[in-house]
Amino acid sequence: MSELIQNETKSPRWHLLATASTLALAAVFVCADHAVASDRDKDRPTVWIELGGQLERVDGGQDRFMPPFAADVIAGGFKSPAIAQTPPRYAVGGETKITISPESSDWVFSAGLRYGRSNGRKHTHEQRTVKTGFSIPYPSPTPSGPTSKYASATGQVASDSKTQEHESHVVLDFQAGKDVGLGLFGRGSTSVVSAGVRYAEFTSSSTDNLIARPIYGFNPYPIVFFGFSIPSATRYDFHGIAENHRSFRGIGPSLSWESSSHLTGSDDDGGLTFDWGLNAAILFGRQKSTGHHQTTAYHYEQKYYGAQGPRYAFAYQPKAADHARSRSVVVPNVGGFIGASLRWSNAKVSLGYRGDFFFGAMDGGVDTRVSKDRDFYGPFASIAVGL
């Protein structure tokens, strides 16, 4: 009986001791896990420096310089002068980015710069020999003789177009964000939402030089001299030049969402991650366009075979030979990227494809304003080092 009482007395103490031991062990595991996490956070780089490059397709363009004689060039069987005025399709450039992630914090601060440029020259030349003829009245010395003769002449017709194009763009970002989805897409993943300021600057310039001799033939009204009709050969030489400079500079608020999730491995042994992001901004800035163009034409007549007659010059009078326009604009901007990264604890190598679209950023007109988009998209590669 006493042994039973003694056993019942020990039972509550045993349960209390077991409970205390369990809590102590749990506290030890929690502290150990917290210590490991703290060590990991301590070993995590707080500063990342990233360098990279990109090959971007540039779209948007500008209106072509098409002087009045372009229609004569096309009617003469030559290619349109606009073909040589196609801007370069691709731009090459570089980028740099600094990211700061304070210890024991989900905040991320970054500053990034992206730069690109393209240069292009195009030259098209066409030339051929033409033979033209003209039937002229001819007084016959006898009633049965011919009343007309056929005169012919051989000449050169040609079309020559030279164009130089230059384009450059700069995009600068300052952002502050927070990792709002740590582990949202699996262990080791991140999802950073940021807000900040974006500055963009676009410039382009073009020089066009067009020379054409699309018309060569006989004057349909030959010279009559002492009863004889003397045919006169005729030709037209055209020359057109144009210079245009366009730019946009704007700044405004921006938002971005960048996410990364592990596919294989880990940061320590070289993990592979899938990366993607979206960005948007509203830029307030100024759009400018300045330019000059001039077109001249010369008419030559050959009064008789072997001798060139006088040159008759006349100039086309376009509506605006010079222009200088400036306008305040609001430019929406959206973009995004998708790619993959090979990550270590203090290094990262990334490959991907990115696009940025700026709506109505440029004035691409010649004599009148024409709103044009400026779009960049293409592959990129970068390497980052953590400090």
Q: pLDDT tens digit string along 307-358?
A: 455 556 565 555 557 889 999 999 999 999 999 999 888 899 999 999 999 9
Average pLDDT, the chain: 79
Reported as a pLDDT band with limits 50, 70 and 90, residue 15 is very low
CATH number of the domain within which 169 lies: 2.40.128
374's tokens: 């400026």
Q: In this structure, are 283 and 246 located in the same domain?
A: yes
Asked whether residue 35 falls in the same domain as residue 70, the answer is no
- Are 8 and 94 contained in the same domain? no
Measured CA to CA, the distance from residue 169 to residue 267 in angstroms comes to 35
Residue 92, CA distances (Å) to 60, 119, 196, 378 in order: 17, 10, 26, 10
Residue 329 sits in the same domain as residue 223? yes
In this predicted structure, the answer to whether residue 284 has a pLDDT above a threshold of 50 is yes
Q: What share of the chain is helix, strand, coil (3-state, %, to 5)?
A: 15, 65, 20
Residues 295 and 376 both lie in one domain: yes
Q: Do 243 and 312 fall within a single domain?
A: yes
Please report, for residues 150, 153, 305, the alpha-carbon distance to residue 135 in angstroms, rounded to integers and kept in the order given: 4, 12, 16
- Give the per-residue pLDDT at 152: 63
> How large is the average pLDDT for residues 353-370?
93
Residues 18-48: tens digit of each pLDDT:
444 443 334 433 333 443 344 445 567 899 9
Task: Please indicate, yes or no, whether residues 59 and 29 belong to a single structural domain of this protein.
Answer: no
Same domain, yes or no, for 21 and 97?
Answer: no
Q: For position 265, what pLDDT does the model report? A: 74
Q: What pLDDT is attached to residue 141?
A: 56
Q: Is 371 left (phi over 0), alpha (psi -120 to 50) or beta?
A: beta
Q: Is the pLDDT of residue 134 over 80?
A: no
Residue spans of beta strands (DSSP E) within 265-309: 271-302
Q: Are residues 309 and 335 in the same domain?
A: yes
* 53 shares its domain with 35: no
Task: Report which of 65, 285, 287, 55 is spatially closest to residue 165, judged by C-alpha positions.
Answer: 65
Q: Domain total for the chain?
A: 2
Per-residue model confidence (pLDDT) at position 112: 96
Averaged pLDDT for residues 259-285? 86
Do 24 and 128 lie in a common domain? no
User: Could you tell me if 54 and 25 lie in one domain?
Assistant: no
pLDDT of residue 59: 85
How distant is the alpha carbon of residue 259 from its chain centre? Answer: 25
| Domain region containing 374 | 46-386
Kindly indicate the confidence band of residue 259, based on its pLDDT and cuts at 50, 70 and 90: very high
Query: Is pLDDT larger for residue 226 or for residue 174?
Result: 174
